[in-house]
Structure 1
Amino acid sequence: MISSVRGTVLSVAGHLAVVEVGGVGLAIQVTPQHALGLRVGAEATLRTSLIVREDDLSLFGFVDADELAVFDALRGVTGVGPKSAMGVLAAMEPAQIAQAVALEDDSAFRKVSGIGPKTAKLIVLSLAGKLFVTARTARPAPVAKTTSVADNVLIALVGLGWNERVAAQAVDDAVAVASAADRAAVPALLRLALTQLGPALQTNSRAEADSAASTV
């Protein structure tokens, strides 16, 4: 059983993240919110659940132990498979799921794609008294990935042909040395990032950079 994974994020596409562990890239299914918090090139730690079937091995990843516990609990409900359980977690926080069960509010589950009225009621009945999770204000992922000046500079650098990992590091370095005014303006931060990538590139690609900055 693979209970957790820690490694470098190689790619994130939709609900699938690839994390390199010991030279091996593991494909891990995550919620859309979780995917937003994973950055290519950065290290990530995920709690995981390995689902073994006759013709398939699927690895599902979670932000913390609460999400994993709720996922396992949902899979124990008749009619709820791994994908449906992930759908519930994509729609609600673990604390919200526990509250809906405590209030016998099956309508919260009926809003989830793939969960019908009968299954929604069964979730409430089956999980009553079984969910104990830590309340939290919100997932940090959406905040980390809101469109910002740094995000737009990264998009511009990738558009100029730079590898995303290299470009992301250059943006981080630029943000670290930029003034408050430069961090608030795409053209200024883009020029600083190009400086981090190399003085020669900054000279030869100034026109391209200005053009890229004007489109993001």
Structure 2
Amino acid sequence: MISSVRGLVLSALGSTVVIEVGGVGLAIQVTPTTALSLRQGTEARLATTLIVREDSLTLYGFPGADELAVFELLVGVTGVGPKSALGVLAVLTPNQIAHAVSAEDDGVFRKVSGIGPKTAKLIVLSLAGKLAVTTVASVSGRPVAGTAAAGVQAALIGLGWSERVAAQAVEETLAEAADPDQVGVASLLRLVLARLGPAQQASERRS
């Protein structure tokens, strides 16, 4: 079992990143947010799990142990394959998944491509009692709104911004959104990066 990978990022496109380890480039399946947080030519470390099938060996990578643990729980649910599990984590953070399961809200899972009503209910039933709910707070101390907030904050920190700047930018962007709870990870990340801009990024990294 390959439990983690650390090495030079050779490429990060879509949902696949290639990391060189010991002269070998490993293709790893990740969420779009994770791919966006990794820059070519820099070193990265991902928590990983290897899914073995009759016709394939596929490595899945995550920025932290929480995402990996939730992924492994999801693939244990009947009807949820690795691709669907990764799709859930592309839309929801581990904490948001825990909140949905705790509230028995299967609606959030039905919004994920490839997850039908029956599978969504199975996810809630199967994960009940297995996930801890934590509170994600903004710089002002209020809960951060929006489905993708925590994931985008993590991606921005991975790109080099401070936690303070990342949290503030996400909060301000969500405050301007017509329906914050419907903003996806990828779209929110694009909006926040547009708000920060290259000038602020350069200034933040120099400080």
With structure 1 as the length reference, what TM-score do the two structures score?
A: 0.67
Matches within 5 A, 1:16-165: 16-132=16-132, 135-136=135-136, 138-139=150-151, 140-142=154-156, 144=159, 146-147=193-194, 148-149=197-198
Task: Give percent identity, aligned residues only.
Answer: 66
Matches of 2:113 and 2:134, distance apart in 1: 25
SS in 1 for 2:89: helix
Gaps of 5+ in 1: 153-170, 181-216
In the TM superposition, residue 131 of structure 1 has moved relative to its aligned partner by: 1.4
SS in 2 for 1:26: strand
Which amino acid counterpart does residue 36 of structure 1 have in structure 2? L
- Find the structure with the greater CA-based Rg: 1
In the TM superposition, residue 150 of structure 1 has moved relative to its aligned partner by: 6.1
Gaps of 5+ in 2: 138-149, 160-188
Matches of 1:20 and 1:102, distance apart in 2: 39
- Sort the Cα spacing of 1:57 and 1:13 in 2 relative to 1 into closer, same or farther, 3 A: same
Deviations 1:30-68 (A, max 9, x none): 001111110100100000010011110000000100000
Deviations 1:54-83 (A, max 9, x none): 110000000100000000000000000000
Which amino acid counterpart does residue 149 of structure 1 have in structure 2? P
Matches of 2:22 and 2:38, distance apart in 1: 19
Aligned residues: 157
Where do 4+ consecutive residues of structure 1 move more than 3 Å?
133-137, 142-145
- Sort the Cα spacing of 1:67 and 1:119 in 2 relative to 1 into closer, same or farther, 3 A: same
- Sort the Cα spacing of 1:36 and 1:135 in 2 relative to 1 into closer, same or farther, 3 A: farther
- Sort the Cα spacing of 1:95 and 1:120 in 2 relative to 1 into closer, same or farther, 3 A: same
Deviations 1:167-196 (A, max 9, x none): xxxx9xxx75xxx9xxxxxxxxxxxxxxxx
With structure 2 as the length reference, what TM-score do the two structures score?
A: 0.70
In the TM superposition, residue 135 of structure 1 has moved relative to its aligned partner by: 4.8
Question: What is the RMSD computed on CA atoms of the aligned residues?
Answer: 2.4
